Amino acid sequence: MRSIRNGAVLAVAAATALTLAACGSSSSGGAGSGSASNSGASAVTLTWWNNATADPLKGVWASVAGSYHTAHPKVAFQIDPIQNEQFTTKIPLALQSGSPPDIYQQWGGGQEATQVKSGKVMNITKLVAPWIGQLGSAAEGWQVNGQQYGIPYDLHMVGFWYRKDLFSKAGIASPPATMTELNADVTKLKAAHIVPIAVGSKDRWPDAFWWEYFALRDCSSTVLKASMKAINLSNPCFLKAGEDLQAFMKTKPFQPGFLGTASQQGAGSSAGMVANGKAAMELQGDWDPGVMSALSTDKSLNSKLGWFPFPAVTGGAGAPTTLLGGGDGFSCTTGATAACADFLKYIDSAPVQKKLVGANVGLPANPAAASALTDPTLRQILAYSHASPYIQNYFDIAFPTNVGQAVDNAVADFFAGQGTPQTIITTVNQAASTS
Q: Is residue 114 within 8 Å of 136, Cβ to Cβ?
A: no
How many C-beta atoms surround the C-beta of residue 380 within 10 A? 16
Dist. CA 398–CA 107, nearest whole Å: 9
pLDDT score of 22: 30
Domains 18-156+325-392 and 159-324+394-433 share a fold: yes
Residues with Cβ < 8 Å from 252, sequence gap 6 or more?
A: none
Question: Within its chain, how far is the Cα of 240 from the centroid?
Answer: 26
DSSP one-letter code for 24: -
Q: Which is more confidently placed, 219 or 374?
A: 219
Output the pLDDT for position 269: 97
Which of 110, 269, 208 is closest to 413 using CA atoms? Answer: 208
Q: How far apart are the first and last CA of the chain?
A: 30
Q: How far is it between the farthest Cα atoms of the chain? A: 70
Residue 61's alpha-carbon distances to 33, 54, 133, in angstroms, are 20, 11, 24
Residue 206 pLDDT more than 80? yes
| Position 14 pLDDT exceeds 90 | no
CA 378 to each of CA 156, 286, 314, 381: distance values in angstroms, whole numbers, following the listed order: 10, 7, 28, 5
Rounded Cα distance, 73 and 194, in Å? 55
Per-residue pLDDT, 432: 95
Considering just the CA atoms, what is the radius of gyration of the chain in Å? 21
The residue count for the chain: 435
Mean pLDDT of 50-73: 95
Nearest to 138 by CA among 380, 348, 321: 348
Which of 21-25, 69-73, 178-182, 405-409 is the least confident region?
21-25
The pLDDT value recorded for residue 116 is 96
Check residue 361 and give its pLDDT. 79
Q: Cα separations (Å) of 222 from 309, 317, 384, 406, 433? A: 20, 10, 20, 23, 22
- DSSP lists the bridge partners of residue 154 as 328, 364
User: 375: which DSSP letter?
Assistant: -
DSSP 10: P
- Whether residue 25 is predicted with pLDDT greater than 60 in this model: the reply is no
The per-residue pLDDT for 265 is 92
What is the residue extent of each domain of the chain? 18-156+325-392, 159-324+394-433
User: Which of the pair, 1 or 180, is modelled with greater confidence?
Assistant: 180
Averaged pLDDT for residues 172-187: 98
Pairwise pLDDT comparison (187 vs 27), residue with the higher score: 187
pLDDT tens per residue, range 294-313: 999 999 999 999 999 999 99
Q: What are phi and psi of 213, to 5 degrees?
A: -70, -35
pLDDT at 23 over 50: no
- Of the candidates 394, 424, 409, the one whose C-alpha atom is nearest the C-alpha of residue 243 is 424
- Dihedral sign, Cα of residue 260, residue 261, residue 264, residue 267: positive
* Strands 323-332, 195-198: pairing kind: unpaired
Band of pLDDT at residue 40, cut at 50, 70 and 90? low
Please say if the pLDDT value at position 4 is more than 80.
no
Residues 325-351: pLDDT tens digits?
999 999 999 999 999 999 999 999 999
Give residue 202's pLDDT: 96
User: Which helix (H) or strand (E) element contains residue 104?
Assistant: strand 103-106
How far, in whole angstroms, is CA 218 from its chain's centroid? 23
More confident residue, 5 or 137: 137
Residue 382's pLDDT is 86
What is the predicted pLDDT for the residue at 29?
A: 37
Question: Could you give the CA distance from residue 308 to residue 384 in angstroms, rounded to a whole number?
Answer: 10
**What's the average model confidence in pLDDT over 422-428?**
97
Q: Which fold has domain 159-324+394-433?
A: D-Maltodextrin-Binding Protein; domain 2 (3.40.190)
Residue 196 clears pLDDT 80, i.e. is over it:
yes
Q: What is the pLDDT of residue 359?
A: 84
Q: Are 360 and 290 in contact (CB under 8 A)?
A: yes
Identify the residue with better confidence: 118 or 17.
118
Could you write out the DSSP letters of every residue in 155-208? EEEEEEEEEHHHHHHTT--S--SBHHHHHHHHHHHHHTT-EEEE--GGGSHHHH
C-alpha closest to that of 162 among 137, 196, 131, 138: 196
Three-state DSSP at 395 gives: helix
The confidence band for 213, taking pLDDT boundaries of 50, 70 and 90, is: very high
Residue 358: which pLDDT band, with cuts at 50, 70 and 90?
confident
Q: 325 near 35, Cβ under 8 Å?
A: no
Between residues 372 and 21, which one has the greater pLDDT? 372
Q: Give me the mean pLDDT over the 309-329 stretch.
A: 95
Residue 14 contacts residue 296 (beta carbons within 8 Å): no
Mean pLDDT (whole number) for 31-45: 60
83-131 pLDDT per residue, tens: 887 898 899 999 999 999 999 999 998 889 999 999 999 999 999 999 9
Helix, strand, coil in percent for the chain, rounding step 5 = 45, 15, 35
Q: What percent of the chain has pLDDT over 70?
A: 90
Q: What is the mean pLDDT of the chain?
A: 89
Cβ within 8 Å of residue 412, ≥6 positions away: 7, 8, 201, 204, 207, 208
**Preceding omega of 56 cis (within 30 degrees of 0):** yes
Q: Tell me: pLDDT of 52 over 50.
A: yes
Asked whether residue 283 carries a pLDDT value surpassing 90, the answer given is yes
Is the pLDDT at 222 greater than 50? The verdict is yes
CATH 3.40.190.10 fits 18-156+325-392, yes or no: yes
Assign 399 a pLDDT band (cuts: 50, 70, 90): very high
- At position 260, the amino acid (one-letter code) is G
Strand partners, 161: 282, 307
Higher-confidence position of 329 and 139: 329
The answer on pLDDT for 27 being more than 50 is no
